[in-house]
Amino acid sequence: MGDIGFINERVDTMKLAFATTFDARDIRNWSGTPYYMSQTLEAMGASIDYIGDLTRCLPPFFKCKQVFSKWTAGQRVSPRFNIHVAQHYSLQVAKQLKNLSVDAIIAPQINPICYLDIKQPIVLWTDGLYASLLGFYPGFSEHSAETIRQGNAITTACLSRTHLAIFSSDWAARTAIEIYGVPQEKVKVVPFGANLICNHTYEEMRTIIQNRSRTTVKLLFLGKHWHRKGGDIVFRVARALHERGQSVELNFVGCSPPKEVVIPDYIKCHGFISKRSTEGVKKLNDLFYESHFLFVPSRAEAYGIVFCEANAFGLPCLTSYVGGISTVVKNHINGMTFSLASSPLQYADYIIDLMQDEGRYEDLALSSFNEFVTRLNWKSAVKTVRGFLR
């Protein structure tokens, strides 16, 4: 499809089409990632035409196949990974592109571009590919053989058309190279940024870190999925800390524990807190400011924007070594990753040992903030991508 150094113009004056199946200008879609990605591209000089709100066209008898597969084999036929649906998305994008004058098209999703045959270069910037998600995320564990075939076909079609395949993690990039055979020179890794605006200085952050409790360890969990995000692990570690005589407070946000789970006094369950309200934003910010660690030991995670957001508040992350997390969280720099087989006592020992040395904790917290400032923000990400586009 051509060399990746395809743009001779200055990227600052570049005209881009930004393609998504939904409206990328709506911050509520995909946790705000396409919104911040595209808005930062614009803020850094690119002219963007948005292509989105695409309609989905299912093939004949699709619903019947879904029901039949579910009831006879307990398998899921997914409309998201269907060639007919993907072709219809790409046709809509091609139709809109005819009326636009753009230098390139960029997409954070595969479906709008996988069957797009155009003269302009195509750039994919996403967090995961079908083969790496299959059997990894709970929603990808029961796909039918036909869905698996079509999911891989769609992904292969997309990667064959892209001039540049950018991924948010080394984990996703390896999938492109090792499973789908994408040439290494066409694959780049650029971490996503935090989906928030944070303008703290280093001195302000140092004060925030020093104002955190010196006696009670405050853990913050943020996640909508109890099992996948490791909510049960967080509860067990909080209990291990308590039983070791360490004063602990766990603020549990995003989901509710199962009804059979006993909630002790040192765990505060806040449920879902909306970022759309002023009160919700203030509540979340206060929790970030007061906590010592973001603790989300995910069992499956393609990336983890929440770790970037925690670092924006000087909050080190405790998490697991799965998926794309290791690209975001670097051990002893902005947190610590643990094996999924790690016991609650291993987490507890690390936390207690670190918190007994105030200077060491403060250094880790300030280093976490530095990771946000230098690497895990959208301005840095777009600047890097801009260099590739040149």
Counting residues of the chain whose pLDDT is more than 70, the rounded percentage is: 97
User: What is the spatial distance between Cα 32 and Cα 34, in angstroms, rounded to a whole number?
Assistant: 6
Q: The tokens 């009326």 sit on which residue?
A: 99
- Helix then strand then coil, in percent of the chain rounded to 5, is 45, 15, 40
Collapsing DSSP states into helix, strand and coil, what is residue 51?
strand
User: Each residue of 45-76: pLDDT tens digit?
Assistant: 999 999 999 999 999 999 999 999 989 999 99
- Can you tell me the mean pLDDT for 346-373? 98
User: What is the spatial distance between Cα 386 and Cα 372, in angstroms, rounded to a whole number?
Assistant: 19
pLDDT higher than threshold 80 for residue 381 = yes
Angle between helices 344-355 and 358-374 (to 10 degrees): 100
The reply to whether 181 and 218 lie within a common domain is no
**pLDDT at residue 276, rounded to an integer:** 84
The reply to whether 32 and 171 lie within a common domain is yes
Domain-located, residue 3: no
pLDDT higher than threshold 70 for residue 130 = yes
User: What is the spatial distance between Cα 354 and Cα 360, in angstroms, rounded to a whole number?
Assistant: 7
Domain-located, residue 226: yes
User: What is the spatial distance between Cα 37 and Cα 192, in angstroms, rounded to a whole number?
Assistant: 8
CB neighbourhood size of 100 (10 A): 13
Counting residues of the chain whose pLDDT is more than 90, the rounded percentage is: 93
CB 11 within 8 A of CB 79: no
268: CATH: 3.40.50.2000
pLDDT higher than threshold 70 for residue 2 = no
**pLDDT at residue 5, rounded to an integer:** 39
The reply to whether 61 and 118 lie within a common domain is yes
Domain-located, residue 4: no
Q: The tokens 């940024």 sit on which residue?
A: 193
Q: How confident is the model at residue 275 (pLDDT cuts 50, 70, 90)?
A: confident
- Stated pTM of the model: 0.94
pLDDT higher than threshold 50 for residue 9 = no
Domain count, the chain: 2
Domain-located, residue 2: no
**168 closest CA partner among 129, 125, 130, 133:** 125
CA atoms within 13 A on the CB side of 380: 16
Domain-located, residue 6: no
The reply to whether 385 and 366 lie within a common domain is no
Q: The tokens 């405790």 sit on which residue?
A: 318
Range of the domain at 207: 202-374
Domain-located, residue 323: yes
- Can you tell me the mean pLDDT for 79-103? 97
The reply to whether 163 and 210 lie within a common domain is no
| 138: Cβ contacts below 8 Å, ≥ 6 apart | 225, 227, 228, 300
CB 120 within 8 A of CB 103: yes
The reply to whether 255 and 308 lie within a common domain is yes
**pLDDT at residue 231, rounded to an integer:** 98
The reply to whether 207 and 274 lie within a common domain is yes
User: Each residue of 149-179: pLDDT tens digit?
Assistant: 999 999 999 999 999 999 999 999 999 999 9
User: What is the spatial distance between Cα 284 and Cα 52, in angstroms, rounded to a whole number?
Assistant: 30
Domain-located, residue 196: no
The reply to whether 382 and 369 lie within a common domain is no
The reply to whether 32 and 114 lie within a common domain is yes
The reply to whether 217 and 111 lie within a common domain is no
The reply to whether 186 and 210 lie within a common domain is no
pLDDT higher than threshold 80 for residue 4 = no
Buried b (16+ CB within 10 A) or exposed e, 135-161: ebbeebeebbeebbebbbbbbbbbbeb
The reply to whether 228 and 325 lie within a common domain is yes
Domain-located, residue 5: no
